Chain A
Amino acid sequence: DAGVIQSPRHEVTEMGQEVTLRCKPISGHNSLFWYRQTMMRGLELLIYFNNNVPIDDSGMPEDRFSAKMPNASFSTLKIQPSEPRDSAVYFCASSPPESETQYFGPGTRLLVL
C-alpha cells in the first residue's frame, strides 16, 4: 500500500521566492497534518485538517504560510515569500477516521538561501 506521498523531496530556493510543498495522504484517511522539523524547535504542528477543513492552524508561523486541502487526496503548504529561517524539513502526516495514529510521509527538505 502506498504511504503518504510528499513532493518535492528536496527544494532549494532563494529568499523571496514562493515555495509550494505537496502532500497526498493515504487513501481513506480523513485527517491531514503538516509539521515542521528543525534542530532548534524539534517537531512542530503547523496545521491540521479534518475532512478537508482546517481545524487548527494555530501553529502556522505567520501570514507568509498558507495551507489548502482542496480534496481528500491532496494538500499544499505554501510559503510566500520564503526566508532563510524557513529552512527545515516539512512533514505531512495522515490519520484514518476515528484514529489517533498518524502516518508520516518522507518529508520535504527545504533550503532557502
Chain B
Amino acid sequence: AQSVTQPDIHITVSEGASLELRCNYSYGATPYLFWYVQSPGQGLQLLLKYFSGDTLVQGIKGFEAEFKRSQSSFNLRKPSVHWSDAAEYFCAVGAGDYKLSFGAGTTVTVRA
C-alpha cells in the first residue's frame, strides 16, 4: 500500500520569504500526487496535482511542486509567502484505485 511522509510538523517563515514543504511517498509504480491546503476551520482545498508528464507542476496561489522519482519526493514551493498562506498543508498519494493516502500535515506559520 502507498504511504506519505511529511517530515516537518511545523514551519515558521517570514512574510516575503520562500517556502518549501517536503513530501516523501512510498509506492512501487508512478503515483498520483497531490497537495492540499487547509485554512483554520476550513475544508481541504486542492493546490496542485501530478499524474504524468512535466515533473514541475504549477498550482493555484503561486505554488509549484516538483516530482522527483529518484528521491520519491514531491516537494511544494512558493517563492514569496504572504500572511494568508498560514495554514496546514497536506501531501497525498493515490495508487490508481481512487483512494488517497494523506500525510500528517505541515503547519505553516507566517511572521510579519
Contacting chain A: which of B17-25, B44-52, B54-62?
Answer: B44-52
A56–B97 Cα distance when bound, in Å, is 11
Task: Tell me the dominant secondary structure on chain A's binding face.
Answer: strand
Chain B interface size band reads 20 to 34
A41–B46 Cα distance when bound, in Å, is 21
Let me know if B43 and A102 touch, CB within 8 A.
no
| Residues of chain A within 8 A of B103, CB atoms compared | 42
Let me know if A100 and B104 touch, CB within 8 A.
no
Tally chain A residues at the interface, Cβ within 8 Å.
20
A25–B87 Cα distance when bound, in Å, is 25
Let me know if A100 and B36 touch, CB within 8 A.
no
User: Which one of A42, A48, A95, A106 contacts B43 once the chains associate, using CB atoms below 8 Å?
Assistant: A106
B2-41 CB mask vs A (1 if < 8 Å, else 0) is: 0000000000000000000000000000001010100000
Let me know if A91 and B43 touch, CB within 8 A.
yes
Question: Could you say which of B36, B99, B105 has the most chain A C-beta atoms within 10 Å of its C-beta?
Answer: B99
Let me know if B96 and A100 touch, CB within 8 A.
yes
Question: Could you say which of A43, A56, A103, A106 has the most chain B C-beta atoms within 10 Å of its C-beta?
Answer: A43
Q: Could you list which residues of chain A lie within 8 angstroms of chain B, going by C-beta atoms?
A: 4, 31, 33, 42-43, 45, 48, 50, 56, 91, 93, 95, 100-107
